[in-house]
Amino acid sequence: MKNQPKIVLASSSPYRKELLQKICPTFESQSPKVDESSRRNEDPLSLSKRLAYEKAMALKTSFPEHLIIGSDQVAMLGDQQLTKPGDYKNCVQQLTASSGKIIQFYTSLCVLDSNSSKHQIDVDLCRVHMKILSEQEIENYVKKEQPFNCAASFKSEGLGIALFNKIEGDDPNALIGLPLIKLVSLLDFFGYEVL
Protein backbone atom coordinates (compact mmCIF):
# COMPACT_ATOMS: atom_id res chain seq x y z
CA MET A 1 0.00 0.00 0.00
CA LYS A 2 1.29 3.47 -0.87
CA ASN A 3 1.92 6.21 1.66
CA GLN A 4 -1.44 7.13 3.09
CA PRO A 5 -2.38 10.72 3.93
CA LYS A 6 -2.46 11.38 7.69
CA ILE A 7 -5.98 11.57 9.10
CA VAL A 8 -7.35 13.86 11.82
CA LEU A 9 -10.86 13.66 13.24
CA ALA A 10 -12.12 17.10 14.28
CA SER A 11 -14.13 15.75 17.20
CA SER A 12 -13.82 14.64 20.80
CA SER A 13 -16.84 12.32 20.47
CA PRO A 14 -15.99 8.78 21.61
CA TYR A 15 -18.73 7.49 19.30
CA ARG A 16 -17.23 9.12 16.20
CA LYS A 17 -13.75 7.88 17.15
CA GLU A 18 -15.04 4.33 17.50
CA LEU A 19 -16.73 4.51 14.09
CA LEU A 20 -13.67 5.96 12.36
CA GLN A 21 -11.51 3.12 13.70
CA LYS A 22 -13.55 0.74 11.54
CA ILE A 23 -12.04 2.22 8.37
CA CYS A 24 -8.93 4.13 9.57
CA PRO A 25 -6.80 2.20 12.04
CA THR A 26 -4.50 5.18 12.67
CA PHE A 27 -5.65 8.76 13.15
CA GLU A 28 -5.41 11.67 15.53
CA SER A 29 -8.35 13.51 17.01
CA GLN A 30 -8.84 16.92 18.53
CA SER A 31 -11.88 18.86 19.58
CA PRO A 32 -12.50 21.89 17.36
CA LYS A 33 -13.54 25.07 19.11
CA VAL A 34 -16.58 26.04 17.04
CA ASP A 35 -19.74 27.93 17.97
CA GLU A 36 -22.54 25.54 16.97
CA SER A 37 -25.33 28.14 17.09
CA SER A 38 -27.47 28.44 14.01
CA ARG A 39 -27.55 31.66 12.05
CA ARG A 40 -30.70 33.61 11.34
CA ASN A 41 -32.91 31.80 8.79
CA GLU A 42 -30.36 28.96 8.43
CA ASP A 43 -32.04 25.69 7.49
CA PRO A 44 -30.85 22.43 9.14
CA LEU A 45 -29.08 21.15 6.02
CA SER A 46 -27.08 24.38 5.63
CA LEU A 47 -26.31 24.45 9.35
CA SER A 48 -24.94 20.90 9.43
CA LYS A 49 -22.84 21.48 6.29
CA ARG A 50 -21.44 24.77 7.57
CA LEU A 51 -20.53 23.32 10.97
CA ALA A 52 -18.84 20.25 9.47
CA TYR A 53 -16.72 22.59 7.34
CA GLU A 54 -15.96 24.97 10.22
CA LYS A 55 -14.92 22.07 12.47
CA ALA A 56 -12.46 20.82 9.85
CA MET A 57 -11.14 24.34 9.20
CA ALA A 58 -10.66 24.98 12.94
CA LEU A 59 -7.82 22.43 12.98
CA LYS A 60 -6.16 23.46 9.71
CA THR A 61 -3.23 25.36 11.23
CA SER A 62 -2.59 22.71 13.90
CA PHE A 63 -2.48 19.93 11.29
CA PRO A 64 -1.03 21.48 8.09
CA GLU A 65 -0.27 18.21 6.22
CA HIS A 66 -3.40 16.17 6.95
CA LEU A 67 -6.83 15.16 5.79
CA ILE A 68 -9.15 16.60 8.43
CA ILE A 69 -12.60 15.10 8.91
CA GLY A 70 -15.31 17.38 10.27
CA SER A 71 -18.79 16.08 10.99
CA ASP A 72 -21.92 17.66 12.37
CA GLN A 73 -25.40 16.39 13.00
CA VAL A 74 -28.61 18.38 13.24
CA ALA A 75 -31.76 16.65 14.50
CA MET A 76 -35.15 18.10 13.58
CA LEU A 77 -38.62 17.34 14.90
CA GLY A 78 -40.76 19.18 12.38
CA ASP A 79 -39.31 22.69 12.38
CA GLN A 80 -37.85 22.39 15.90
CA GLN A 81 -34.18 21.56 16.33
CA LEU A 82 -33.47 18.89 18.94
CA THR A 83 -30.16 19.76 20.58
CA LYS A 84 -28.11 17.92 23.20
CA PRO A 85 -30.42 18.03 26.22
CA GLY A 86 -27.77 18.39 28.93
CA ASP A 87 -29.89 17.05 31.79
CA TYR A 88 -32.62 14.62 32.83
CA LYS A 89 -35.52 17.08 32.57
CA ASN A 90 -34.69 18.17 29.03
CA CYS A 91 -34.22 14.53 27.93
CA VAL A 92 -37.68 13.63 29.17
CA GLN A 93 -39.18 16.71 27.47
CA GLN A 94 -37.53 15.94 24.11
CA LEU A 95 -38.52 12.27 24.14
CA THR A 96 -42.09 13.12 25.19
CA ALA A 97 -42.36 15.59 22.29
CA SER A 98 -40.85 13.01 19.88
CA SER A 99 -43.11 10.10 20.92
CA GLY A 100 -44.88 8.63 17.87
CA LYS A 101 -43.27 11.13 15.49
CA ILE A 102 -40.44 11.20 12.92
CA ILE A 103 -37.10 12.84 13.66
CA GLN A 104 -34.89 13.82 10.72
CA PHE A 105 -31.13 13.72 11.19
CA TYR A 106 -28.89 15.68 8.82
CA THR A 107 -25.33 14.40 9.25
CA SER A 108 -22.77 16.34 7.24
CA LEU A 109 -19.19 15.36 6.52
CA CYS A 110 -16.36 17.57 5.39
CA VAL A 111 -12.96 16.22 4.38
CA LEU A 112 -10.38 18.99 4.13
CA ASP A 113 -6.89 18.66 2.69
CA SER A 114 -5.19 21.12 5.02
CA ASN A 115 -2.19 21.49 2.71
CA SER A 116 -4.14 22.58 -0.39
CA SER A 117 -7.32 23.84 1.37
CA LYS A 118 -9.39 21.72 -1.02
CA HIS A 119 -12.42 20.16 0.60
CA GLN A 120 -15.43 17.99 -0.17
CA ILE A 121 -18.75 17.97 1.70
CA ASP A 122 -21.51 15.36 1.67
CA VAL A 123 -24.68 14.88 3.73
CA ASP A 124 -26.58 11.85 4.93
CA LEU A 125 -30.29 12.14 5.75
CA CYS A 126 -31.77 9.62 8.18
CA ARG A 127 -35.34 9.44 9.43
CA VAL A 128 -36.11 7.85 12.78
CA HIS A 129 -39.70 6.74 13.35
CA MET A 130 -40.27 6.87 17.10
CA LYS A 131 -42.59 4.47 18.92
CA ILE A 132 -45.45 5.86 20.95
CA LEU A 133 -43.76 5.94 24.34
CA SER A 134 -45.33 5.97 27.77
CA GLU A 135 -44.11 8.35 30.46
CA GLN A 136 -42.70 5.35 32.35
CA GLU A 137 -40.81 4.05 29.31
CA ILE A 138 -39.25 7.46 28.74
CA GLU A 139 -38.23 7.86 32.38
CA ASN A 140 -36.83 4.29 32.50
CA TYR A 141 -34.80 4.91 29.35
CA VAL A 142 -33.35 8.24 30.51
CA LYS A 143 -32.43 6.82 33.94
CA LYS A 144 -30.72 3.77 32.40
CA GLU A 145 -28.78 5.43 29.58
CA GLN A 146 -28.51 9.11 30.62
CA PRO A 147 -28.15 10.39 27.03
CA PHE A 148 -27.54 13.97 28.14
CA ASN A 149 -24.87 14.66 25.48
CA CYS A 150 -26.81 13.17 22.53
CA ALA A 151 -28.88 15.13 20.04
CA ALA A 152 -32.57 14.17 20.34
CA SER A 153 -31.92 12.51 23.74
CA PHE A 154 -31.05 8.97 22.71
CA LYS A 155 -28.13 6.72 21.79
CA SER A 156 -29.06 4.60 18.79
CA GLU A 157 -25.93 2.49 19.34
CA GLY A 158 -27.25 1.54 22.77
CA LEU A 159 -30.63 1.11 24.43
CA GLY A 160 -32.09 3.95 22.35
CA ILE A 161 -32.81 1.43 19.61
CA ALA A 162 -35.73 0.24 21.78
CA LEU A 163 -37.43 3.60 21.22
CA PHE A 164 -37.78 3.18 17.45
CA ASN A 165 -40.32 1.64 15.10
CA LYS A 166 -37.93 1.95 12.18
CA ILE A 167 -34.98 3.83 10.74
CA GLU A 168 -34.89 5.08 7.13
CA GLY A 169 -31.46 5.87 5.76
CA ASP A 170 -28.52 4.71 3.67
CA ASP A 171 -25.99 4.21 6.47
CA PRO A 172 -26.70 3.03 10.05
CA ASN A 173 -23.47 4.73 11.18
CA ALA A 174 -24.82 8.16 10.22
CA LEU A 175 -27.27 8.16 13.10
CA ILE A 176 -24.35 7.70 15.52
CA GLY A 177 -22.65 10.71 13.93
CA LEU A 178 -20.27 9.58 11.18
CA PRO A 179 -21.66 8.30 7.83
CA LEU A 180 -18.91 5.84 6.93
CA ILE A 181 -20.21 4.92 3.47
CA LYS A 182 -19.97 8.55 2.35
CA LEU A 183 -16.71 9.03 4.24
CA VAL A 184 -15.01 6.17 2.37
CA SER A 185 -15.85 7.90 -0.93
CA LEU A 186 -14.63 11.29 0.28
CA LEU A 187 -11.35 9.83 1.56
CA ASP A 188 -10.88 8.00 -1.73
CA PHE A 189 -11.24 11.33 -3.57
CA PHE A 190 -8.23 12.62 -1.61
CA GLY A 191 -6.14 9.48 -2.18
CA TYR A 192 -6.71 7.67 1.11
CA GLU A 193 -7.28 3.98 0.37
CA VAL A 194 -9.45 2.20 2.92
CA LEU A 195 -8.92 -1.18 1.22
Cβ pair 76, 82 in contact under 8 A: yes
Task: State the Cα–Cα distance between residues 173 and 170, nearest whole angstrom.
Answer: 9
What residues act catalytically? Answer: 72
Q: How far is CA 42 from CA 1, 104, 118, 140, 189, in A?
A: 43, 16, 24, 35, 29
Task: Report d(CA 179, CA 19) in Å as an integer.
Answer: 9
